[in-house]
Amino acid sequence: MKKHGHTPDHNFDWLMYCSDEGEPKTAIWDDGYAVWYYKNKNGLVAVSDPIAPINKYQEVIGEFLKTLFDPDRRIRFLDLRDEAHDIIRNLYTDNYKFDYDIVWPVVDMNLFDPELPGGHFKDIRNALSKFNREHGIEIKDATSVDRKGLHGIVDRWLDDRKKAGIEELYPGRYHNMIDGSFRGTKSARAMFVDGKAVGFNAGWETPNNTSQWSAAIGLHDFSIKDLGLALLMEDLVWIKNAGYKTCDLEGSDPQALRFKTQFFLKFDTYKTYTFWLTNQT
């Protein structure tokens, strides 16, 4: 991954955290290319794009599927970008079953001003000012915080999201990350409000792109009005102060996309796709 990684998901520890539902596997080529996947009771799950140059995708994907795809096994692909997705769909048109796609916003940190000047950001300024005025806020290194409190954040987040009708939830990866002391992250910070742990941010540099931050984790328990806004602001200020030029704000449904990008007047996006290859009709 150090040589050929290029997406936010190309992080060994993160991929291990995400493989909690099965047995982690890696298909590795002699020249260092790889496909990360895990095996569970439903088949195989391949996570993210191949760990290889894009101009090698056709070769790597073709060999991977020729070896592992058969009539008795189905493969689910999680969060593949256009190039990898299109290659697989074209190779196996009759077996392709679309599940969903999500948008990933990428922001220019030079366009983020923590002062939030102008009328466009007035509501955000007022909300943050009220939040900071009414609550005592403390930021701590998440690796030094009691794990029980962090696990509680994940549990409360999950309960709230289920009540909101959101189906694609993966709490196991966050619990695994906490138990792993946030190994694989470059920064992990917990937010305490009025003495209680209520959220945390964590991320890392996009592999082979030291100017881009992958804001992989921003999770809170929805216990206080505008808590999510305050947590996102903390993350953006940290990223800005750390000197990163761009930030990948990670995959987002329409509601999350609006929330994550509200601090920016413009931003770029790309899509990833989740789908199946199956012989089942």
pLDDT of residue 83: 98
Q: Is the pLDDT of residue 261 over 90?
A: yes
DSSP state of 165: T
φ, ψ at 116 (rounded to 5°): 50, 60
Q: For 61-89, what is each residue's pLDDT tens digit? A: 999 999 988 867 899 999 999 999 999 99
pLDDT of residue 167: 81
Looking at every residue in the chain, the average pLDDT score rounds to 95
Residue ranges of domains in the chain, CATH in brackets: 12-103+272-277 (3.40.630), 105-270 (3.40.630.30)
Give the Cα-Cα-Cα angle 138, 141, 143 (nearest 5 degrees): 135
Q: For 123-149, what is each residue's pLDDT tens digit? A: 999 999 999 999 999 999 999 999 999
φ, ψ at 118 (rounded to 5°): 90, 165
Rounded to an integer, the average pLDDT of 232-252 is 98
Q: Which residue has the higher pLDDT, 223 or 168?
A: 223
Q: For 38-65, what is each residue's pLDDT tens digit? A: 998 888 999 999 999 999 999 999 999 9
Number of H helices, E strands in the chain: 8, 11
Instruction: Round to whole Å and give the CA distance between 157 and 198.
Output: 9
The two three-digit tokens of residue 278, written as one number: 């199956």
Instruction: Round to whole Å and give the CA distance between 66 and 107.
Output: 38
Q: For 107-126, what is each residue's pLDDT tens digit? A: 999 999 999 999 999 999 99
